[in-house]
Amino acid sequence: MRTKVAVIGSGNIGTDLVIKVLKRSTALEMAALAGIDPTSDGLAKAEKLGVPVTAEGIDGLTRMPCFADVEIVFDATSAHAHQANAEVLATHGKRVIDLTPAAIGPMVVPTVNLHEHLNAPNVNMVTCGGQATIPIVAAILKITPVPYAEIVASIASRSAGPGTRANIDEFTETTAHAIAEVGGAKRGKAVIVLNPADPPITMRDTVLALVDAADTKTHQQIRDSIEDMIAEVATYIPGYRLKQRVQIDPVQQPHTLTEEPVTHQVTVLLEVKGAADHLPAYAGNLDIMTSAALRVAETMAAVVRA
């Protein structure tokens, strides 16, 4: 038996989630899509595919006949809207996968810490930049402590919709916090760049990590750990790849970004190409969120059915 799921938010991310559940998942059943704009393309597309829809948001969703059987709800609205949605869904006993930067529940990156939060009632998918880069920080941490990590997420301006633009501040704050809390760095920083290039660029992410690792054996262990992590992430995001060989370069001591002793900077350049299920392939920033959320829901469903 498949686990029934619903999506709140009929924008790009919500619509892509609907398509992914219908097209790719053998564990989940798409029960409903809720939006607030009756003229939205997402609601029209979902209805055409046979998915029950409502344009009355969370209130409309709770009144739908199918809602009683829904076990997991994806929230693809905004950080502000999720505050209210989470309260309503909690009263109904629904598990929530939050794709906004609200971070009410624990932040989850599938390859890093999903196993710790499989029974949480509300989990947060951090941000696109966090999903792309936190696995790399965690991979470095497996070999050596990371006193400081900084990420730069560059995405096509065309792939940044109203929700993304409205949540820029939350994006940087949530991602920086998650680099430390989930990735394990002692201190984190995040930057997002909206690139207006035409044709649009594919999502690119840069990870800069300061480490105290002077010997070449440790350098190779770091590279191997990063490559292993990339291969693991690529099992659910096939377009996730290393853009060039991991660079490990000496730095001057003491370093201005950390009081701890560091000897080298690890530089990792990534590219994230979308699966183009609903969104264009260049919108890897959106695809990585929906793909990661899908993996979380399927893993949760498997645990419940076990």
Give the catalytic positions in this structure.
128
* Per-residue tokens: 244: 């060039």
Please tell me the distance from the alpha carbon of residue 108 to that of residue 296, in angstroms, as a whole number. 8
Is 12 annotated as contributing to ligand binding? yes
Match 């059943």 to its residue by tokens.
29
182's CB contacts (< 8 A; 6+ apart) are: 107, 108, 109, 112, 113, 126, 130, 134, 138
Is 284 annotated as contributing to ligand binding? no
Is 301 annotated as contributing to ligand binding? no
Is 275 annotated as contributing to ligand binding? no
Is 160 annotated as contributing to ligand binding? yes
Is 187 annotated as contributing to ligand binding? no
Is 161 annotated as contributing to ligand binding? yes
Question: 67-90: b or e for each residue (b if 16 or more CB lie within 10 Å)?
Answer: beebbbbbbbbbbebbeebbebbe
Is 157 annotated as contributing to ligand binding? no
Is 195 annotated as contributing to ligand binding? no
Residue 224: how many other CB atoms lie within 10 Å: 14
Is 113 annotated as contributing to ligand binding? no
DSSP codes, 186-255: SSEEEEEEEE--SSPPPEEEEEEEEE---SHHHHHHHHHHHHHHHHHHTTT-TTEEESSPPEEEE--SS-
Please tell me the distance from the alpha carbon of residue 294 to that of residue 210, in angstroms, as a whole number. 32
Match 């990735």 to its residue by tokens.
183
Is 163 annotated as contributing to ligand binding? yes
Is 154 annotated as contributing to ligand binding? no
* Per-residue tokens: 274: 């979308």
> Which H/E stretch holds residue 32?
strand 28-34
Nearest residue to 18 (alpha-carbon basis) of 39, 41, 49: 49
Exposure on the CB side of residue 96, measured as CA atoms within 13 A = 29
Pairing of strands 203-211, 122-124: unpaired
Binding-site residue positions for NAD(+): 10-13, 159-167, 285
Binding-site residue positions: 10-13, 159-167, 285
